[in-house]
């Protein structure tokens, strides 16, 4: 999946959150990030997601919260990190793993 496609998917998901659900919840919607490596290799992809959300009106710490979980290449940690995100009120979860198609 190309970066622009990823941004469109995330932005479309954010824009599609039902108004009724937001009205019933006092807390901000939460986007969960789960990554197998450390955060550093994905910094620009995370920034692209932030930009895509901003373009549809969602800004971190203003009207959307972000939860990050990175396994630091310790793949046995992924199930626990995923379970932690699932146990939180995460509206959308994104998984980052190996770089897609060698895109850097």
Q: Does pLDDT of 83 surpass 80?
A: yes
Q: Does pLDDT of 51 surpass 50?
A: yes
Percentage of the residues of the chain whose pLDDT score is greater than 90: 34
The 3-class SS string of the chain reads CCHHHHHHHHHHHHHCCCHHHHHHCCCCCEEEEEECCCCHHHHHHHHHHHHHHHHCCCCECCCEEEEEEECCCCHHHHHHHHHHHHHCCEEEEEEECCCHHHCC
Q: For the chain, what are the domain ranges?
A: 3-17+28-102
Percentage of the residues of the chain whose pLDDT score is greater than 70: 67
């Amino acid at each position: 999946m190309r970066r622009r496609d990823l941004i469109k998917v995330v932005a479309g998901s954010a824009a599609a959150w039902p108004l009724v659900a937001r009205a019933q919840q006092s807390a901000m919607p939460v986007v969960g990030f789960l990554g197998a490596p450390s955060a550093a290799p994905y910094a620009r992809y995370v920034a692209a997601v932030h930009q895509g959300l901003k373009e549809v009106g969602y800004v971190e710490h203003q009207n959307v919260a972000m939860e990050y979980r990175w396994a630091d290449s310790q793949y046995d940690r992924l199930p626990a990190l995923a379970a932690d995100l699932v146990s939180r009120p995460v509206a959308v979860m994104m998984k980052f793993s190996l770089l897609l198609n060698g895109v850097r």
